[in-house]
Amino acid sequence: MADETVNPERHYKGHPSPANLREIAGFFLKIGVVGFGGPLVHIAMMEDELVGEGSRQWTDESTFMEGLAICNMLPGPASTQLGIFMGWVRGGTPGAVVAGACFMLPAFAIIVALSYLYFAYGELPAIRDGLLYAINPVVIGLIVGSAYSMARSALGAAETDLSFEIGDDSWSVDVRLLFLLVAALVATILFNPNPVLEFAVAGFVALLIYRWSWVASNLGRMSLTAAISITLAGLYFSRDKIVEFASSRAKGTGWYAAVASIAGALWANTWVKLVLFMLYTGSFIYGGGLVLIPFIEKYVVDEFGWMDTATFVDGIALGQLTPGPVVMTTAFVGYELFLSQGIPMAVFGAFVAAFAAFAPSFVFIVAMFPYVARVRDNPQIRTALVGINAAVVGAILGATVSLAQEAIVDPLTTMVAFGTFVLFVRGVKAVTLILGGGVIGIVAYYLL
């Protein structure tokens, strides 16, 4: 037992035999094809078929639940990371790679096919003003519905100041967490800050609120952390001046000119920028795939100008039509970005974007899981995550406000968005709602 505590990897990591790898590939290709319904469906399928008596018995229930708990703590799509974890348990590092690749391959193929159809025929009046007209408000309803469920969990994670019922749902709310959620919501609407900065501030504020005695007794450590954080924030807010300074230095001579010139040339390369952005996004989308929304809205839409808001909303809709995580929307971004260079290059761009976005998930499981398994019960870390969870919901809702301005344009789209929200929180599948929205749009186009 002591060895397992010191080195959890010995307990979890499986053997990559050919038979095990074939079994892993077969199962995750299946779940990647039929796993419509989102993360809860993926998790339920893995638990039902891989854990306990009457299953393939890859592991026991306690290991599975610990893996799920740790995946929920890590940035990235939890169900995808749980799949990678189960592959790791069964077949070691090769098993993790096979599990993740096979899990995501069907969704990737579907999103590429849908991207092709969208950009080939999306400007047709019946598609743009009919099909997509009603699908876009469905997407807004789905996002708000998901945020509703996330908020119910996040706001009740600490103390209970308010208790009430909404329909069949019981809510327990800590007003301080509600404050963090609203603060993130307002900040995102008014300033659209870097989401990572929002989450870091929320985690720090949660420590001040709930662990003040620990903060007071560790002022030296906290002061160093605060100084580093302020320095990094200062560099972030001064990034334009830093780039301007580096560009001016690149015109001179010396080693700094050479470094500045190389860095500028790399950043000007769209492929490099895409990979770096997707790696960055995949490393910080804490709280689930929907956290992708404020990241992409801020950078892909606003700063980089790779696509407009309406196209981004359409991309989210296409991502919801796949059996994989909504993070697969990153493939849509890569496809659109390189479409002007031809279909083959667009497909490769989709692959590069998805690969970079999901790569951190593999690293978190294979390289960091043993460490996270040791620190996950640290009270300071768990407290910070409580604050981050609340801010995540606020950031998602804040980013959705500008998306809603593009999608909700009249009374019909308002009713579609609201109806989607109500049906989604009552358990209707996202795919069903999106297809239903498409039917409403087509009918409205031809009859109204």
Q: Which among 97, 90, 98 is positioned nearest to 64, based on CA atoms? A: 90
Residue 11 has a pLDDT of 58
Residue 266 has a pLDDT of 75
Cα–Cα–Cα angle for 335, 264, 305, rounded to 5 degrees: 35
The ranges assigned to domains in the chain are 2-105, 125-447
Rounded Cα–Cα distance for residues 224 and 240 (Å): 26
Q: Is 428 left (phi over 0), alpha (psi -120 to 50) or beta?
A: beta
* Amino acid in the structure at residue 178: L
Q: Which among 318, 313, 272 is positioned nearest to 296, based on CA atoms? A: 313
**Residue 35: strand pairing partners:** none
* Assigned token pair, 247: 């560009």
* Assigned token pair, 202: 């929320």
Name the DSSP class of 170: E
Rounded Cα–Cα distance for residues 172 and 160 (Å): 6
> Is residue 125 packed enough to be buried (19+ CB in 10 Å), middle (13-18) or exposed (0-12)?
exposed
Rounded Cα–Cα distance for residues 94 and 15 (Å): 9
Average pLDDT per block of 10 residues along the chain, 448 residues long: 44 81 94 83 89 76 85 85 93 94 95 96 90 94 93 91 90 95 95 89 93 86 73 66 64 64 76 94 83 91 92 92 88 96 97 95 85 78 92 94 93 96 92 94 91
Flag whether the pTM goes above 0.85. Answer: yes
